């Protein structure tokens, strides 16, 4: 399975945008890019995912590099509630040999938000 | 239905005892997953069900662990003869048929402490 690399931690100020980077240089053309986050004492929460094109939803935006070797999760205005560990995960589509159940979480990026 | 429900939220047991965790998925979700998370690490995949069929198991799922989903709705995860190394958060998730290529919904987890 392709691996991802994320900074261990990042800091942000409240109400400012946050750009969380993820490197995945060994990504294959059939791998989806997922972002989940985990608030303290809670289970992971889905944030966004994409394959090739940039994606937007109510929580965040996902910017995918043209060569797909990196991506950036963008929180447009950080709030204190966004303080969490953010995981960047790759999943291969099952008919290309990917697992049907296994999302491989790394250690993620711990985001701190200052008031 | 407000999400994935797990019970108990906390369990303290003595080494050698058996413990069982229950997971109630979101009602229309046919896929159910178990993950384990130790302190400071990301979640690790244990097993996954499609309806009542257990389709994938991780090497982490030793023979002391057994998971069931008898009627394709709720699931149980039993750990026999617990060891201190089993202390972890046990997370359940559910999803629609697209599985890991879509969105997984996680519960808040069951924290196990083995003394």
Q: Which pair of tokens denotes residue B78? A: 């039993």
Q: Indicate the pLDDT class of residue B99, thresholds 50, 70 and 90.
A: confident
Best interface-test mutation with B: which of A45, A101, A107 has the largest number of B CBs within 10 A?
A101
Taking residues A19-34, report their average pLDDT: 92
Best interface-test mutation with A: which of B7, B43, B90, B94 has the largest number of A CBs within 10 A?
B43
Nearest CB to A103: which of B45, B50, B109? Answer: B45
Q: Does B88 touch chain A (CB under 8 A)?
A: no
**Interchain CB distance below 8 Å, A100 and B99:** yes
Report whether pLDDT(A32) > 60: yes
Taking residues A69-82, report their average pLDDT: 96
Secondary element (H or E) of residue A34 = strand A31-38
Q: What is the pLDDT of residue B98?
A: 74
**Interchain CB distance below 8 Å, A101 and B4:** no
Which residues have a Cβ under 8 Å from the Cβ of B12 and sit 6 or more positions away?
A: B113, B115
Among A11, A22, A30, A47, smallest CA distance to A94 is for A30
Q: Indicate the pLDDT class of residue A96, thresholds 50, 70 and 90.
A: low
Report whether pLDDT(A92) > 90: no
| CA A17/CA A41 separation, integer angstroms | 25
Q: Which pair of tokens denotes residue A71? A: 């991506």
Q: What is the pLDDT of residue B4?
A: 97
Taking residues A30-54, report their average pLDDT: 93
B14 vs B72: which has the higher pLDDT: B14
Q: What is the mean pLDDT of chain A?
A: 92
3-state SS assignment for residue B54: strand
**A100 min Cα distance to partner chain B (Å):** 6
**Most confident of the ranges A22-36, A72-86, A87-101:** A72-86
Q: What is the pLDDT of residue A99?
A: 72
Among B51, B54, B101, smallest CA distance to B77 is for B54
Best interface-test mutation with A: which of B99, B108, B110 has the largest number of A CBs within 10 A?
B99
**Interchain CB distance below 8 Å, A101 and B45:** yes
Taking residues B18-47, report their average pLDDT: 95
Cα distances from A26 to residues A4, A5, A31, A68, A70, in angstroms, run 8, 11, 10, 9, 10
Quick one: closest CA in A to B102, which residue? A49
Cα distances from B63 to residues A85, B78, B80, in angstroms, run 32, 11, 9
Q: What is the pLDDT of residue B25?
A: 96
Positive or negative torsion for Cα A95, A52, B103, A26: positive
Q: What is the pLDDT of residue A63?
A: 97
Taking residues B72-95, report their average pLDDT: 96
Q: What is the pLDDT of residue A102?
A: 80
Q: What is the pLDDT of residue A48?
A: 96
Report whether pLDDT(B111) > 60: yes
Nearest CB to B42: which of A87, A99, A100? Answer: A87
**A106 min Cα distance to partner chain B (Å):** 5
Taking residues A50-57, report their average pLDDT: 93
Report whether pLDDT(A95) > 90: no
Q: What is the pLDDT of residue A64?
A: 96
Which residues have a Cβ under 8 Å from the Cβ of A5 and sit 6 or more positions away?
A: A22, A23, A24, A106
| CA B19/CA B21 separation, integer angstroms | 7
Q: What is the pLDDT of residue A2?
A: 66
């Amino acid at each position: 399975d392709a691996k991802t690399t994320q900074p261990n931690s990042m800091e942000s100020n409240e109400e400012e945008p946050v750009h969380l980077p993820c490197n995945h240089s060994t990504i294959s053309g059939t791998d989806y890019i997922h972002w989940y986050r985990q608030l303290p004492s809670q289970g992971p929460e889905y944030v966004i995912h994409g394959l090739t094109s940039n994606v937007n939803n109510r929580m965040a935006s996902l910017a995918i590099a043209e060569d797909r070797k990196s991506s950036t999760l963008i929180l447009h205005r950080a709030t204190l509630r966004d303080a969490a560990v953010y995981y960047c995960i790759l999943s291969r589509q099952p008919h290309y040999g990917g697992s049907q159940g296994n999302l491989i979480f790394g250690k993620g990026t711990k985001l701190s938000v200052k008031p | 239905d407000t999400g994935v429900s797990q019970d108990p939220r906390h369990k303290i047991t003595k080494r050698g005892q058996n413990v069982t965790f229950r997971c109630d998925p979101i009602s229309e979700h046919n896929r159910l997953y178990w993950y384990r998370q130790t302190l400071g690490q990301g979640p690790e995949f244990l097993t996954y069900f499609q309806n009542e069929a257990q389709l994938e198991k991780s090497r982490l799922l030793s023979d002391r662990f057994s998971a069931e989903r008898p009627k394709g709705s709720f699931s149980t995860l039993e750990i026999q003869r617990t060891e201190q190394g089993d202390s972890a958060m046990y997370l359940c998730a559910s999803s629609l048929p697209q599985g890991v290529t879509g969105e997984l919904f996680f519960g808040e987890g069951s924290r196990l402490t083995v003394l």
